[in-house]
Amino acid sequence: MTTQLAAESGAELVPARMLNEYAYCPRLCYMQWVQKEWRHTADTLEGRYVHRRVDVEAGGVPSPDEIADGDRIHARSVLVGSERLGAIARVDVLESDGADVTPVDYKKGTAPDLPERAWEPERVQVCIQGLLLADNGYRCRSGVLYFVESKQRVEVEFDEALVARTLELLGRVKAMAEGGVIPPPLADSPKCPRCALVGLCLPDETNLLAGREPGEGSAGRDKGVPVPARRAEPRRLVPSRDDRLAVYVQGQGHSLGLAGENLEIREKGKVVDTVRLLDVAQVSLYGNVQISAQALRELASRDVSVVHLSYGGWLAAVTSPPPHKNVELRMAQYRAATDEEESIRLARCFVSGKLRNQRTLVRRNGRDVDQILVGRLRALRRSAERATTAESLLGTEGAAGRAYFQAFPSMLRGETGLFDFEGRNRRPPRDPVNAMLSFAYSMLVKDVLVTLIGVGFDPYLGFYHRPKYGRPALALDMMEEFRPIVADSVVIGLVNTGEIRPVDFIERAGSVALTESGRKRLIGAYERRLDQTVIHPIFGYTVSYRRVLEIQARLLGRVLLGEIERYPPFSTR
């Protein structure tokens, strides 16, 4: 059986699966169908395994007028659609024993203990298949849900009530897509924990910041920065850490290749290290490191970005999978970036978060710090939160930066003379501390950029850092609040623990750079910092800094799509 697809008619047909998702959770349907979001979980992979046979087309299906009483049909993976209904479905198995045809939909698990022996989303999904078959001229009065684990066949009669409900949901799905407004998350729903998109949806977090949680109060405002009127503690619905790791290859002349399910790091053809593909979150290649086409394709198929950097850590290129399908998010980003008022509103939040964290770091680590200077950092943060132009915000941030780095030496307890710090300098850095800061910032912007690409943003169009050829402006925006608590904290820790040593630096023509051993030490400390957990100041659960990067990026998306009013910068105490 063949049907006209949406590309031929100019209309996008609603997949039957989306009626199932809408009946289960309208927001899930919107994220999957309109925003094209998807992540696999153990449940979805098990479902794919269950469908492995019925996803292979097999068997013939005669036209409706060719079916006679006594004919038997058993066909798999039958595509059927209707422009009149505006829907399309792939029927797992189509059966007939006579003139009536019966769609069979495979489900993993067992049939629920309900009078209907099936949940509404499942019954609706098989019903739309029946309606599509009927619209193509077939006689179809019932369907079957086959539960694989219990090997049960549950018959679903397409009675008047179920047909009406199915058509009602079909109309709602179309209206939702045309309206372009994402439905709000379910409130404290037991459906959320096992949802494949819970880490993207952030249901409890979004409801809290939008003031939709009953009894929790709305988000208040503190000089343009949202602070919940009363802190709630959303459920931690995703792991606090991402067990996958970043792979760094910096040996000049090394190469990265594919060997089965492993990446192999090779030197002159000899394998010096291996990493399981399952454990890889991203790959960073420094300087003259080669990567095979096979490894590149496999990493792209697994949504793993490969970042190419200069030997000194400057971003050169990013090899990533095809652009994220969430065009809606990028459209919202482009609109906001051309709106001066919206851009400055977001920029205030980025800078406010940075200044708040700078002051926290000085108070936490500084020795004999001038309290007037600490008070100045607080006053400048408040000034930043009142800024009305990009120029005034830049001026305030610059003044805060000078005050912060004036206090920076008080946080260092390393070897006298080696780690003297007299202020920020770069391009090139002229002392070991500035060399470490520059390298740490380059790693941070790399990680934020990869996170933004994964969420669906254009990392080169920002709100505070204005567009400039080759500059990842949005990544620079988003990294502001993390500079003190991630990059600066790593440098301070390396110096104060003595982990970094004089042999880890090289001086040339007045500039200082990290040696290969120095970069290795800094990369190790940086990765440990990202893996370190912290209590989220708003949501109350424990989460790693690496996960915080993604949460903040997704919260920015919620702001741009109008779900929450203000972007909440991440700050520690």
In tens, the pLDDT along 452-485 reads 998 999 999 999 988 777 689 999 999 999 999 9
DSSP string, 232-298: ------S-SS---EEEEE--TTEEEEEETTEEEEEETTEEEEEEEGGGEEEEEEESS-EE-HHHHHH
**516-531 and 489-497 helices, crossing angle to 10°:** 120
- Name the pLDDT band for 69 (thresholds 50, 70, 90): low
Asked if residue 435 lies in contact with residue 442, where contact means CB atoms within 8 angstroms, the answer is no
Q: Which amino acid is at 248?
A: Y
State how far the Cα of 546 lies from the Cα of 544, in Å rounded to an integer: 5
**Helix, strand, coil content of the chain in percent (nearest 5):** 45, 20, 35
In tens, the pLDDT along 289-322 reads 899 999 999 988 888 889 898 877 788 888 887 7
Asked if residue 514 lies in contact with residue 504, where contact means CB atoms within 8 angstroms, the answer is yes
Phi, psi of 78 (to 5 degrees): -100, 120
Domains annotated on the chain, with CATH: 6-179 (3.90.320), 192-228 (no CATH), 245-319 (3.100.10.20), 327-531 (1.20.120.920)
The strand pair at 290-291 and 254-259 is best described as parallel
Helix (H, G, I), strand (E, B) or coil at 146: strand
In tens, the pLDDT along 380-396 reads 999 998 999 989 999 99
Hey, which residues does 15 pair with through a beta bridge? 88
State how far the Cα of 103 lies from the Cα of 41, in Å rounded to an integer: 27
- What mean pLDDT is predicted for residues 18-43? 85
pLDDT surpasses 90 at 549: yes
Distances in whole angstroms, Cα of residue 192 to Cα of each of 46, 93, 110, 189, 196: 18, 30, 20, 6, 9
CA within 13 Å, CB half, 494: 31
Sign of the alpha-carbon torsion through 456, 461, 462, 463: negative
pLDDT (0 to 100) of residue 364: 85
Please report where in the chains the tokens 């520059």 appear, as a residue. Answer: 438
Tokens linked to 401: 């930066």
